[in-house]
Amino acid sequence: MRSPSLGEVTLRRFEEPDETGPMQRGSFEVVHIGGTMIGRAIYPPGWRWSEHVGPLVNQQNCELEHVGLVLAGTLVAQFPSTGRLITLRAGDLFYIPPEPHDSWVVGTEPYVSLHIIGDGKHPK
């Protein structure tokens, strides 16, 4: 991909992602833009990381760091080491540390969030 020069504007859409994450239900698209990576997660009601992603990557819990913004819906993240539950709702900016956690969609509305993946360490 070509880097923009000074004054050049780049427009991208998630409908044409550079990468997609492994998923049985829902979607995670990644777009490279302006020297960073931005992901969009869309998870339907009933989605759970340990059921719909974990088996595909041979892990019980997600161990990635997440920084982002919830656009719609509600998601709960649970940290097995402490049992701590965190609820993420539309409008919340979030940071989830890189320690084992599971997550699942709560309610009847799909969960949608944007993820800033600046260092490019998100799995392909």
By 3-state DSSP, what share of the chain in percent is helix, strand and coil, each rounded to 5? Answer: 5, 45, 50
Give the separation between CA 124 and CA 120, rounded to whole angstroms: 10
Q: Which two tokens stand for residue 49?
A: 């990381």
- For residue 5, the model assigns a pLDDT of 57
| Number of folded domains that form the chain | 1
Q: Are 19 and 27 in contact (CB under 8 A)?
A: no
Q: Which candidate, 95, 77, 97, places its Cα nearest to that of 86? A: 77
The CATH number for 90's domain is 2.60.120.10
State the pLDDT at residue 55.
Answer: 92
Give the range of the structural domain holding residue 41, as residue numbers without chain letter.
Answer: 21-116
Asked if the structure places residue 14 within a domain, the reply is no
Q: Answer whether residue 27 is part of any domain.
A: yes
CA distance 103 to 34: 29
Q: Quick check: helix, strand or coil at residue 93?
A: strand
**Residue 7 domain-assigned?**
no
pLDDT value of position 124 = 42
121 inside domain: no
Residue 122 lies in a domain: no
pLDDT tens per residue, the chain (124 residues)?
555 556 789 999 999 999 998 788 999 999 999 889 999 999 999 999 999 999 999 999 999 999 999 999 999 999 999 999 999 999 999 999 999 999 999 999 999 999 999 755 554 4
